Amino acid sequence: MSRIGKNPVTLPAGVTFDIKDNVVTIKGKLGELSQEIKDGITVSIEGDSIILERASESKDHKAKHGLYRSLIFNMIEGVSKGWTKELELVGVGYRASNQGQVLDLSLGFSHNIVLELAPEVKVETVSEKGKNPIVKLTSHDKQLVGAIAAKIRSMRKPEPYKGKGVKFVGEELRRKAGKSA
């Protein structure tokens, strides 16, 4: 399995780490996150680094070892720097606007799609003339940002012929050739 779990996670300045009853809590300047650690994995802190150890060499423990190390690393990155996802609306007449936490999308349907976003996620829409509208999602929780971005993308997935739809900025789409006459 993975060797990711063996790497220690360093704590940057301004981030506090606490473990109580198998629940890891991490606080930083951008917020607070907590994660429950299941049995078989022990978390300890030595100096300014966090070390995870597994109880045995079973396949399940090896898999969870790398998983929890990655989750803790993502939590630390989130509360210190934050996570951002950018979505691009490709298509004629596709628009995005926001009023606080309410995102209004016009994606070529007969009606606009209105989404009420979680208060932990900050949303920003950028519309420039001659360019596709961009929706920026920012939060300290990587899982929440990814889930909301995937939900928005699922409203109108990019199609393979013209590339119309909602896609991530920088996403490479597999394009198909159209009809050959």
First to last CA, the chain: 51
| The predicted structure's pLDDT at residue 74 | 95
Instruction: Tell me which residue of 34, 21, 51 sits closest to 141, measured CA to CA.
Output: 34
Q: Each residue's pLDDT tens digit in the chain (181 positions)?
A: 458 888 999 999 899 999 998 899 999 999 999 999 988 899 998 988 999 998 888 888 888 999 999 999 999 999 999 999 999 999 999 999 999 999 999 999 999 999 999 999 999 999 999 999 999 999 999 999 999 999 999 999 999 999 999 999 999 999 999 888 6
| The predicted structure's pLDDT at residue 39 | 81
> Which CATH code is given to the segment(s) 4-80?
3.90.930.12
| The predicted structure's pLDDT at residue 2 | 59
Domain ranges across the chain: 4-80, 83-168
Arch. (CATH architecture) of 83-168: Alpha-Beta Complex (3.90)
Q: How far apart are CA 26 and CA 6, in angstroms?
A: 20
| The predicted structure's pLDDT at residue 180 | 81
Q: Contact, 35 vs 27, CB < 8 A?
A: no
| The predicted structure's pLDDT at residue 6 | 86
Fold match flag (4-80 vs 83-168): yes
Instruction: Tell me which residue of 132, 138, 88, 142 sits closest to 117, measured CA to CA.
Output: 138
